[in-house]
């Protein structure tokens, strides 16, 4: 699993992580929620549910970027992670507010949204991992979201464009070259960090990556089921 028979080159650690999580990632791509975005058939209430929960998720995702910046072993990595926290809070959340408004979710309603148990499980896992202070595990936990959405967006963009324009623009957002570049950068950090670690610490990175891959799949399922928010 650590090498390619065709090229004779060693497979990057991030590539092995992706291989280990392949069944989970394929399940995401094949999920009825994702396929409903692809063909425009996804019921509006399910997409509204997703947008509201994703908005909450991104707030904590930005916090994890900030914590990762604090633990980063190099200044360039700290700078980039701090920039990502700022961009998430000031750019991506603004895009979500605009998308929510298009779907009839006013700002006041978005601000009052409560997390579902699935959203809470995902953000709690990320924040707990980030708070423990192991930079290697933090970047491994951050990777499935940015890489997964980039891969999914590019795959959906390669197919027919859905007639529902907000769905089409959502695909455009996650198929962007900027997100692909960001995912490539995070993979390079994961690979560089893993190269200097022993087997037990690489195993913890793998566990974090797989846990977040499972939570990504659960996030789609929660909006498909219209999971109720916490009381």
- pLDDT, one tens digit per residue, over 133-183 is 799 999 999 999 999 999 999 999 999 999 998 899 999 999 999 999 999
Angle in degrees, CA 106, 107, 109, rounded to 5? 70
**Residue with the two structure tokens 């037990």:** 200
Distances (CA, A) of 196 to 190, 193, 202, 229: 11, 6, 9, 42
Phi, psi of 175 (to 5 degrees): -95, 10
> What residues pair up with 3 in beta bridges, in sequence order?
10
| Residues counted in the chain | 231
| CA atoms in the 13 A half-sphere facing the CB of 171 | 22
pLDDT for res 68 = 97
C-alpha span between 167 and 170 (Å, rounded): 5
C-alpha span between 218 and 118 (Å, rounded): 7
> Distance from first CA to last CA of the chain, Å, rounded?
45
Residues of the chain with pLDDT under 50: 1-8
Q: What is the pTM of this model?
A: 0.93
Nearest to 15 by CA among 149, 141, 178, 184: 184
The DSSP annotation for 50-108 comes to: HHHHHHHHHHHHHHHHHHHHHH-SSHHHHHHHHHHHHHIIIIIHHHHHHHHHHTT--HH
Active-site amino acid positions: 145, 216
C-alpha span between 182 and 227 (Å, rounded): 30
């Amino acid at each position: 699993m650590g090498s390619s028979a065709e090229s004779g080159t060693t497979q990057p650690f991030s590539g092995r992580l992706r291989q280990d999580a392949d069944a989970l990632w394929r399940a995401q791509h094949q999920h009825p929620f994702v396929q409903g975005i692809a063909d425009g058939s996804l019921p509006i209430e399910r997409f509204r549910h997703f947008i509201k929960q994703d908005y909450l998720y991104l707030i904590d995702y930005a916090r994890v970027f900030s914590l990762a910046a604090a633990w980063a072993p190099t200044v360039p990595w700290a700078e980039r992670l701090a920039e990502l926290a700022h961009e998430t809070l000031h750019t991506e959340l603004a895009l979500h507010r605009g998308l929510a408004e298009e779907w009839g979710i006013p700002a006041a309603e978005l601000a009052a949204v409560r997390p579902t148990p699935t959203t809470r499980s995902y953000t709690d896992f990320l924040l707990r991992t980030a708070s423990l202070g192991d930079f290697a595990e933090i970047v491994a936990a951050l990777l499935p979201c940015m890489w997964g959405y980039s891969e999914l967006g590019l795959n959906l963009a390669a197919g027919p464009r859905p007639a529902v324009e907000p769905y089409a623009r959502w695909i455009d957002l996650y198929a962007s070259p900027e997100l692909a570049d960001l995912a490539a950068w995070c993979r390079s950090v994961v690979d560089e960090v893993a190269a200097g670690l022993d087997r037990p610490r690489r195993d913890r990175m793998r566990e974090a990556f797989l846990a977040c891959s499972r939570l990504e799949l659960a996030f789609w399922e929660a909006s498909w089921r219209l999971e109720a928010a916490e009381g």
